Amino acid sequence: MFRARRPAAILVAVGVALGAALPCRAGPVDDAYIAGYAAAILERDFKVSSAAVEVRDGVVTLREGALPAALRSDAIAALSRIRGVRRVELAVARREPSVGEGAPPAPTRDLAAPEPAAAPANAGLSFLPGRQLFDPLTADPRWPHFAASFQHINGSPEVESATTVSAGEIIPLLETPAPGGGRWQIGILGAVFALFDRASVSKDLINNDYFIGVPVSWRNGPWSALARYYHQSSHLGDEFLLRGTGVRRVNLSFEVADLLLSLDVDDRFRVYGGGGIIVRSEPKLGKLLAEAGGEYVGSRPFFYGLLRPVAAIDLQTREYQDWTADLSMRAGVQIDSPFAIGRKLQLLVEYYRGKSPYGQFFDENIESIGVGAHFHF
């Protein structure tokens, strides 16, 4: 039941899952929610009063004279990335007539013609930008972020009751206009994924996986992409080796170059897919891999405006695992930071079935269910 002979099976499964979900749409994001985020961004990052921005029907209007021209493109780019924003416009004050020209017609200000959200951002360069252009993949078991989960694992002879911990992040370093439109970023990624045996007396460390690499991301409106070159190495825990189980350590390490493309179908639904190639590996592994998935984030918060429903599915397949389909599903609630766009805490129920994502045991078929807390910057 774990095997899927063709990578196309991944895309079929994702299409079926998202097709069932798309008819169940919620209403648009509240203007008040957008206005709150926009005000926080302007005050924190640009030292501009919240009175400089207005929101109506998802359209953000920014007063042209509220901030220097050199900062205007960065501000519009930041406001454009708020969930639910249809576009960002500038409110241009009309020129006062000289004496004898007559009274100015009402209104006293005029809105600039509507523009695509990313178009005004094609100017300026930002160091250490405040948000990633490619949003995190909620259900990807190996996405660099800070998290802790409690899991029950079936099929693994090494551990049954487990705690998994990840620590890491994708950190954007530089953001500039992209040729042809939109913005692009270059950064660094680093993460460690650890597996602990919760049933043992000393909560033995079983496996550690280390990631380090260089990501390049791009966004233009609802489209975004991420290209990565990264290294992974895997190691058995000292406490596990001291058990004397006779497990032979595999000197597993490899470098991967991959590319993911994502589409925000609307302010609630997102689909993505892509693939990659293993450039170097030890031991020798099949080279090709593929990934696809989809996500839903509710547009209307509940419980005093604090929580949003979230659900995600991720499927991956690799040549060196004979194209077995790895299925990861997560669902729960999300708490968004009112101070930093993109910063969020997710409390999720998690299900996984497929080849073990824990590097030293990559040839084992497992099934797991658990609960976790996931923090994204």
- Taking the C-alpha atoms of residue 242 and residue 244, their distance in angstroms, rounded to an integer, is 5
Q: Tell me, rounded to whole angstroms, the distance of Cα 269 from its chain centroid.
A: 13
* 17-21, 48-52, 345-349: segment of lowest average pLDDT: 17-21
Would you say residue 9 has pLDDT above 90? no
Q: Which pLDDT does position 26 carry in this prediction? A: 38
Q: What are 286-334's pLDDT values in tens digits?
A: 999 999 999 999 988 888 888 999 999 999 999 999 999 999 999 999 9
Strands (E) across 94-132 are located at 109-111, 126-127
DSSP 8-state class, residue 119: G
Extract the tokens encoding 123: 């100017």
Provide the whole-model pTM.
0.71
DSSP structure string for 185-202: EEEEEEEEEEEEETTSTT
Q: What are 20-62's pLDDT values in tens digits?
A: 444 443 345 578 778 887 887 777 666 676 667 888 888 888 8
Cα dihedral 78, 257, 356, 310 in deg (nearest 10): 20
Would you say residue 240 has pLDDT above 90? no
Would you say residue 353 has pLDDT above 60? yes
Mean pLDDT of the chain: 82
